[in-house]
Structure 1
Amino acid sequence: MNTISLVTGASRGLGRNTALSIARHGGDIILTYRSGAEQAQAVVQEIQGLGRKAVALPLDVTEVGSLPTFADTVRHTLTTHWGRSSLDHLINNAGHGEMAGVAETTEAQFDGLFDTHVKGVFFLTQALLPVLADGGRIVNFSSGLTRVSFPGFSAYAAAKGAVEILTLYLARELGGRGITVNTVAPGAIETDFLGGAVRDMPDLNAQFAGMTALGRVGVPDDIGPMIASLLGPEHRWVTGQRIEVSGGQVI
């Protein structure tokens, strides 16, 4: 039986790459998007071109009151497209960044980060637990910035730090169902994160590259395939772990 993975925020960036990587490993995908409907449908078509099934659903993880209804939509989608009632994997990727010093960070920026990366992850996972199969997998996205500091990312890193602690508790509480829960923490990646800052600003790119053992920043293909591998049966004994994928950032 083919696996079915739900990847949030998969219309672009690391979410898109993760969804495509899972499809290349033989999995089917439910992907979510907040506003990029056309981009999401393009990803669906790419996945279908790989011979896998895919469906795109709209989702704003900060709208906590809508999450039980979203879970019902997922159930209906599973029944309609796969004749199944459960998911195999949940990948909590959806998110955004803010770059501001402690003195300049606004309450709105702070709340936006925690609403998306902490509250959204917590309550979406809660809503989907009845739909997640026993023996399934949860992967939460964190950041290399929870281990080392870089000016301007205090609120973002604090939110991701909370995700890492949540991962530990989920791993413990869901272990009885055979569900593994891990955190993947990318280093600096060339995506449109922060408006494409790492990708498009040579000085910032070089600064982050100089922090890594491998001498470069990452690209999406450094992350998605690793997550697809983590979901495989050979990693069934890995849970409650923070796995950094950063090219040896500040070691």
Structure 2
Amino acid sequence: MRIAFCSDILPPVADGVTRTLSELAPALLAEGEEFLFISAMRPHPSLPWRDRVHCIPNVPFPFYRSYRMGVPLGLGADEALDRFAPDVIHVVTPSLLGLYGVRYGERRGVPVVASFHTNFVSLFSYYGLGLLEHLGLFLMRRFYNRCSATLAPSRTTAAELRAAGIRNVTLWWRGVDHRRFAPGFRSEALRARAGAGDAPVLLYVGRLAREKNLDYLVTAVHELEGRGTAFRLVIAGEGPMREELAARLPRAHFTGHLRQDLLAAWYASADLFLF
């Protein structure tokens, strides 16, 4: 099968989308499948599939200036896709690039599937744009209903998409590699580095961004501290709220972005995962 992906972001950006792509692309290579990425970003030079990326012009993403959003101007993307002749188009984000992928599929008679990673409509209320939610929901529903299928990562997300009026929703599970993530990677040295001692370690892993409901985390931590509960909070990840969280949670241990082996060790070394 020949698969064309439309994805604004690629590694080395670190988030859930690129984590999925980082696992998917090598698996496709191993299976001998042909694929091409149309993207706003150049892949990391170390990636073995870096020559399977066609880059297009881009602009900063409105909510995250460090992200780029593809703007498929001119005929370059059309020509790249025509040469590749995909059997299916996989749209990763409902952006200008994603819309381009949907339209290309419609024009060329190529089926389009979309994977759902981020509820962009939910971001509006976090950034003072709550009045746009109804319009955003309408556009989101219209976008995904033009696709042959929408892949949801969980039953909860699938139910939310169906409730929003999106048809042809199916599950695309994310597996966990038990060889990498296992209790045997627990590290007392890692716990000591965070100053945990014998206290339970509470672990948060993810982007440090407003839409992750981290204000709720701050409130919960302050309540535990007020009760005199002994614990050590470890926050793994990066994002625009890093400095604010460091000021509001001065006792927390911030790891920054972690390599996968260290992330696995922290999962194994924590006593409670905050999600």
TM-score normalised by structure 2 residue count: 0.42
**Larger relative contact order (CA 8 Å, sep ≥ 6):** 1
Q: Which structure has the bigger radius of gyration?
A: 2
- Normalised by the length of structure 1, the TM-score is 0.45
